[in-house]
Amino acid sequence: MTRTICDDITSFLVMDILEKTQELEKAGKHIIHLEVGQPDFNTPCCITEAAVKALRDGKTAYTHSLGIFPLREAIAAYYEREYGVIISPERIVVTNGTSPAMLLLFSALFDPGDTVIVSDPTYACYNNFINYTQATVNPVPTYEQNGFQLRIADVANAIDGQTRAILVNSPSNPAGTMISPEDLETLCHMGSILISDEIYHGLVYEGRAASALEFNNNACILDGFSKRYAMTGWRLGWMVVPEYLIPVIQRLQQNFFICANSIAQWAGITALNEAKPDVERMAAEYNRRRHVMQNALRKLGFVINSTPVGAFYLLVNARHINGDSLALAYDILEKAGVGVAPGIDFGPGAEGYIRFSYANSVENIEEAMYRMEKYLQNR
């Protein structure tokens, strides 16, 4: 058979780990999940009540392909309120989660032969999305002592005539670190399109997360409701793009997805307008868990030179245990009953590292650390 682009799409390894945990759980094994970026909180009541009301009101039909206008207005108001940035609702596209937003945006932006600067390590799925458009990933190494964030000089050296875009993620997955506002501003003006994945904004424990729109009105923004509003299964995201991209993205949306989920869109308005106290409560608890996990891992002998300040991840060097992070993740799962994400999922620069998610209760984190202690003792 002839090879296709799809043959080159690699597995999302953390999902492979998750699916293995589900097999073990079906067999009766108790697993503590620290592998996925899945909030363990219920969606705030005000959001679910808004969804129920939308159902009862019969708001179950197709919507405008760009999203219902009241939600796009609410997103625009969010940017003015949080960042002091004024954008038109006409530049906002509502999607079935942030992953479809990536597919639409990258398909609209990239042509074969284009290159996209991405940090190594980085979010596991970026490279596959870029490769699917037949553009090429240009990975720029990042380092633990620098928070696994791009260094300006390295990016400048990587830019060439084929560079179409620079993709950043802050707070980041897998490290939970943030790019400085100064570096973000510089990246916004390096001559290539700046794509900023801001899905973890709202979950910041030290400092402030700046939006790329504060520095460049033509930056492309990816964001959504999954993480800070505990709405992963609702599949609701958005992007903000320059006006010239809207017509092509709209055509792609119409053909690929038609529109985002209607009920989720109406609930999203309530999330933006009423759920901030819930987000702050959840963020405070994540922060507490962050300290518990970080302290416990250090007691177990892990060196953490890159302290997370946002999201809900810790990326730790485990090369002293096993340099093969995937084999190590499966071994920890089988022998300790703890799910962790292998560093290699995020690129060669994270091989030998493992990512722990603290989107789980303190009690479960403490039990997982106890199991890790026994696992290490028995090696």
Length of the chain: 379
Phi and psi, residue 164, nearest 5° = -95, -35
Report the distance separating Cα 236 and Cα 276, nearest Å.
17
Judged against a pLDDT cut of 80, whether residue 255 lies above it is answered with yes
Judged against a pLDDT cut of 90, whether residue 215 lies above it is answered with yes
Region 29-56: what's the mean pLDDT?
96
Distances (CA, A) of 289 to 118, 143, 188, 253, 312: 29, 25, 33, 38, 9
Band of pLDDT at residue 87, cut at 50, 70 and 90: very high
Record the pTM. Answer: 0.94
Band of pLDDT at residue 8, cut at 50, 70 and 90: confident
* Sign, CA torsion 231/235/88/63: negative
For residue 379, give both structure tokens: 């090696």
Judged against a pLDDT cut of 70, whether residue 2 lies above it is answered with no
Judged against a pLDDT cut of 90, whether residue 169 lies above it is answered with yes
Q: Which residues contact 5 (CB under 8 A, 6 or more apart)?
A: 131, 132, 134
Residue recorded with tokens 């460049």 = 216
Which residues face 266 on adjacent strands?
Answer: none
Report the distance separating Cα 363 and Cα 31, nearest Å.
13
Region 151-161: what's the mean pLDDT?
97
Phi and psi, residue 307, nearest 5° = -75, 125
CA 144, distance to chain mean position in Å, is 19
Residues of 32-50 as b/e, b for ≥16 C-beta within 10 angstroms?
bbbbbbbbbeebbeebeeb
**For position 86, what pLDDT does the model report?**
97
Cβ proximity of 140 and 149 under 8 Å: no
Judged against a pLDDT cut of 80, whether residue 144 lies above it is answered with yes
Judged against a pLDDT cut of 70, whether residue 277 lies above it is answered with yes
Report the distance separating Cα 299 and Cα 363, nearest Å.
17
Region 183-194: what's the mean pLDDT?
97
Q: What average pLDDT does the chain have?
A: 96
**For position 6, what pLDDT does the model report?**
73
CA within 13 Å, CB half, 311:
27
Residue recorded with tokens 């490769």 = 131
**For position 4, what pLDDT does the model report?**
66
**For position 7, what pLDDT does the model report?**
74
**For position 193, what pLDDT does the model report?**
97
Judged against a pLDDT cut of 80, whether residue 3 lies above it is answered with no
Region 262-281: what's the mean pLDDT?
98
What percent of the chain lies above the pLDDT cut of 70? 99
Q: Which of 16-25, 147-156, 196-205 has the lowest mean pLDDT?
A: 16-25
Judged against a pLDDT cut of 70, whether residue 196 lies above it is answered with yes
Q: What are the structural domains, with CATH classification, of the chain?
A: 5-42+277-378 (3.90.1150.10), 45-273 (3.40.640.10)
For residue 74, give both structure tokens: 């609410």
Region 342-355: what's the mean pLDDT?
96
Give 241-270 as a 3 state SS string.
CCHHHHHHHHHHHHHHCCCCCHHHHHHHHH
Band of pLDDT at residue 264, cut at 50, 70 and 90: very high
State the Cα angle at 155 between 143 and 203, rounded to 5°.
Answer: 60
For residue 95, give both structure tokens: 């999607």
**For position 176, what pLDDT does the model report?**
97
Cβ proximity of 224 and 191 under 8 Å: no
**For position 130, what pLDDT does the model report?**
96
Tens digits of residue pLDDT in 108-143? 999 999 999 999 999 999 999 999 999 999 999 999
| 296 Rama class: left (phi>0) / alpha (psi -120 to 50) / beta | alpha
Judged against a pLDDT cut of 90, whether residue 186 lies above it is answered with yes
Q: Is 284 exposed, middle or buried (0-12, 13-18, 19+ CB in 10 A)?
A: exposed
DSSP state of 162: T
